[in-house]
Copies of this chain bind each other. A is one copy, B any other.
Amino acid sequence: MNKTIDLVAIGRAALDLNSIEINRPMEETESFRKYVGGSPANIAIGQAKLGQKVKFIGKVGDEHHGRYITKYMEDAGVDMSDVVVDNEGHMTGLTFTEIKSPSESNIIQYRDEVADLYIRPDEVKEETIASSKILLVSGTALAQSPSREAVLYAIDLAHQHDTRVIFEIDYRPYTWKSAEEVSVYYTLVAQLSDVVIGTRDEFNMLENSEEADNAKTVEKLFNYRPELIVIKHGVQGSHAYTKDGQVYDGKAYKANVVKTFGAGDSYAAAFIYALNQGKGVEDALKYGAASAAIVVSRHSSSEAMPTVDEIEALIIEQDGSL
């Protein structure tokens, strides 16, 4: 099939409510600024800002928040025509973020019975998956049925239509019932994906283990479908492993940090963009890290997504050249 879409993201599109008064505990804040949030929504917005053709598959509440999200993402350039409005009373998910200090930002999530977890397999369109180069899956959609089955179905369709599956682990403790349940589905989806991206902590969840041995992690997964695995270690940088045995080390860029959340999504958006542009893994690691450095210096995760020019300017500024 003709690949007319660069990336289709499936999963959580929700509302972030970020404390307006920063550098204090949320008990002492008075007001919140709303933004679109949720890892795959942020990545979709990020990709659109980078000029990619992006579509979203998900479900939002039949209320003001759901309508806001759909409108915002459309305005940002994301094709929202496959997004379903819930008709069973499920609300849009929420994330309240406290920005206590540049290094401490606790969140409170409302994830019980939220709309994004109720997208069903029969609401995923085969032609959408078939016409996209990449299917981006994020881990929170696996936390509960039926969105779990919608993702598994989308992956099966992707395999049938030569659509590359990229798994951004995006672990959130909400709605999962046990560490074993997390591990079973993360392992399964990682084995079925072409690219897996996550923090070292997230790979620990996948393995239900504290061993944290990157070499073992990638050796095990390379027995299955993955060809490229990215393991992130925060400010220590990240490592990319390819099936043919290559290892690439990426550094983190300096940033004037406001808060740390949002870093992973902006990283993924730019990393995938660079790969899609035909750049090598080494360059992709730079684009990812630079994009992350920009988002952590801003108040939101979605609206903060940078353009190509901003990313490249930062790389040039800190590295001397692209």
Contact = CB atoms under 8 A, between A and B. Distances in A.
Interface in A142-158: 145-146, 149, 152-153, 156
A64 B98 contact: yes
A77 interface: no
A180 interface: yes
Contact of A180 (B65, B91, B108, B153): B153
A67 interface: yes
Q: How large is the interface on A (under 10, 10 to 19, 20 to 34, 35 or more residues)?
A: 35 or more
Total copies of this chain within the assembly = 4
Closest 7 CB pairs of A and B: A26-B64, A121-B180, A112-B113, A149-B184, A27-B68, A63-B108, A31-B33
26 contacts: A20-B31, A26-B65, A31-B33, A31-B34, A64-B96, A65-B96, A65-B108, A91-B108, A91-B110, A94-B94, A110-B110, A112-B113, A120-B180, A121-B183, A122-B180, A145-B145, A146-B181, A149-B180, A149-B181, A149-B185, A152-B184, A152-B185, A153-B180, A153-B183, A156-B184, A156-B188
Interface of A: 17, 20, 25-27, 29-34, 63-65, 67-68, 71, 91, 94, 96, 98, 106, 108, 110, 112-113, 120-122, 145-146, 149, 152-153, 156, 177-178, 180-181, 183-185, 187-188
